[in-house]
Amino acid sequence: MTVLRAALAAAEARARAAETRATDAEARAVSAEAQIAHLKHLIARMRQDRFGTSSERGRRLLNQLELELEELETTQAEDTSENAADPAVRATAPRNNRGRQPLPADLPRERVVLPAPTQCPCCGGTRLSKLGESITETLEVIPRQFKVIQTVREKFTCRDCESITQPPAPFYPIARGRAGPKLLAGILCDKYLQHLPLNRQSDAFAREGIDLDTSTLADWVGACTATLAPLNALIRAHVLAAQRLHADDTTVPVLAKGRTVTGRLWNYVRDDAPFGGLAPPAVWFRYSRDRKGEHPADHLTGWTGILQSDAYGGYTYLAKPGRQPAPVVPAGCWAHGRRGLFKIAEKDKAPLAIEAVRRIDAIFDAERAINGRSAAHRLAIRQQSITPLVTDLFNWMRDTCRRMSSKNPLAQAMTYFLRRVDTFTAFLEDGRICLTNNAAERALRGIALGRKAWLFAGSDRGGESAAAMYSLVVTARLNDVDPQAWLADVLARINDIPNPRLHELLPWHWKTLHLTNNTIPP
């Protein structure tokens, strides 16, 4: 009998050990999968950041990897929580090697002291002396609070002349409106930065006990757009005062008679930082119902300079001889050209495509070293070091294409360069020109993400309002200004400030003023 009990106990021990090993192996597998997904996501993100890919396939891949990584990390955390009570599993569970970052030091702290023991658990003695303390910090959130501000204007009557005196009513962001500037700024940023449609915002307010219909929110957004129109005009003037612009466009579904049509949002970016310019960056958006070439011609009426863009034919109208006041100087985007070659190199492993990408990357590497330097310095380095690389690349492409069919995808990708040699080599003659049009693509990135949330614009008027608000919030972000804090302050002051001083509310002036006075709103 004793032997049987011992055998049974040994069998149970082996079963527990096997179960522990299986649990540990499963936890390690989940951790490994999460690490693999994390690395894949990092690689995809780095490729996108470095090479500026804007293809829908690339964005879908990144979104898929992010969702996969989220699910794996959630599963890993769930398994870790379930097994935390098991000493055997806890001892062998894989550790997260990424390290825990400290919580921000500027956050307020609430100290919760647990009751101290009154006697020693070992001997029962009561002569306890504090030796030290251990502190564990947890992050908590306080739900947002709403309040009603009552603006009281007292009336006084004069005992001598019996006239009535009362302070004038203050200006409000919305005439006879019931929304304060901070609330309006939050709604605008949720819609245009967080891509949260107004119907979802209305539902969120309802869950917090505030009844705000979607129509009311829409009225407020429209009124704010009209109120901020003067700043939009100032941003437009600032952008069109540049000698070089980035231009690009993206699709915007627009509701039309029970269906959607494909509208366009165009953007024109001023960014002088790559050649050491001191002018602050800004972006101006425009909306159109279609993608006809007349739209960029209309947007840039009266402007001349260097226009950096992709190879869209609509921009060629601006470069035609005889245009007034003068034809624009087109400059190509090497990131667009490289993209076609990179896809062939990545998918088919074609040696010629790999060689083409290697040669183009050598040009990018040389260009990266002079980013932010003066235009004259950039031009000197380009003529000395980069021009030979470009010349060799185009000669090699011409020789390669002569030995391939014109229908070969690789030949077509190289022909993209060879047909536009003048635009692709323009940067070798002017230090202000960039190698890529990534500045415009980055400004459009938020819209491409937002389309998946708000699905379509309600009308052409809605597209125009969206373009106006994107001009404001994206310009604020380009200048490292918190759009919500800036909009809240601007909406509170714009109706009181005289027109000659409106420029003080532009993001870069606003930032300088508030940094000097140390009064940037929270």
- Does residue 464 carry a pLDDT above 60? yes
Residue 375 has pLDDT above 80, yes or no: yes
pLDDT above 60 for 58? no
CA dist., res. 41 & res. 68, Å (int): 9
- Select from 36, 63, 59 the least CA-distant residue to 48: 59
Pick the closest to residue 338 from 312, 363, 354, 360 (CA basis). 360
Distance CA 390, CA 392 (A): 5
For residues 135 and 117, give the distance between their C-alpha atoms in angstroms, rounded to a whole number.
Answer: 17
Given a cut of 50, is residue 63 above it in pLDDT? yes
**453-458 average pLDDT score:** 60
At residue 522, the pLDDT reads 46
Q: What is the pLDDT of residue 151?
A: 84
Q: pLDDT (tens digit, 9 = 90+) per residue, 82-94? A: 555 454 444 444 4
Q: Return mean pLDDT, the chain.
A: 83
pLDDT tens, 206-258? 998 889 888 888 888 888 999 999 999 999 999 999 999 999 998 887 776 66
With a cut of 60, say whether residue 57 has pLDDT above it: no
* DSSP code string of 12-68: HHHHHHHHHHHHHHHHHHHHHHHHHHHHHHHHHHHHHHHH----HHHHHHHHHHHHH
Interval 25-41 mean pLDDT: 63
DSSP conformational letter for 273: G
pLDDT at residue 56, rounded to an integer: 47
Check pLDDT > 70 for residue 97.
no
Give the pLDDT score at 491. Answer: 94
| Banded pLDDT at 65 (limits 50, 70, 90) | low
Q: Write the pLDDT tens digit of every residue in 316-374.
A: 889 888 888 999 999 999 998 999 999 999 888 889 999 999 999 999 999 999 999 99
* pLDDT above 70 for 42: no
pLDDT digit string (tens) for 392-410?
999 999 999 998 888 899 9
Amino acid occupying residue 480: D
Confidence of residue 99 (pLDDT cuts 50, 70, 90): low
> 206 vs 458, which has greater pLDDT?
206
Q: Are 240 and 480 in contact (CB under 8 A)?
A: no
- Which of 475, 505, 27 has its CA nearest to residue 239? 475
Q: How far is CA 243 from the centre of its chain?
A: 26
Do residues 263 and 251 lie in contact, with contact meaning Cβ atoms separated by under 8 Å?
A: yes
For residue 485, pLDDT beyond 90: yes
pLDDT at site 3: 64
| pLDDT at residue 383 is higher than 90 | yes
The pLDDT value recorded for residue 280 is 95
- Summarize pLDDT for 273-327 with one digit per residue, the tens: 999 899 999 999 999 988 888 899 999 999 999 999 988 888 888 988 888 899 9
pLDDT bin (cut points 50, 70, 90) of residue 33 is: low
Tokens read off for 439: 């500045």
d(CA 401, CA 303): 38
The reported pLDDT for the residue numbered 90 is 45
Q: Answer whether residue 39 shows pLDDT above 70.
A: no
State residue 245's pLDDT score: 95
Question: Tell me, what's the pLDDT at 397?
Answer: 94
pLDDT of residue 168: 85
Please give the pLDDT value at position 229.
93
Q: Which of 73-77, 230-234, 238-242, 488-492 has the lowest mean pLDDT?
A: 73-77
For position 174, what pLDDT does the model report?
A: 80
pLDDT (0 to 100) of residue 503: 93
pLDDT in tens, 178-206: 888 999 999 999 999 888 888 889 999 99
pTM: 0.77
CA-to-CA dists, residue 207 to 124, 178, 203, 230, angstroms:
52, 20, 6, 35
DSSP state of 305: S
Confidence of residue 495 (pLDDT cuts 50, 70, 90): confident
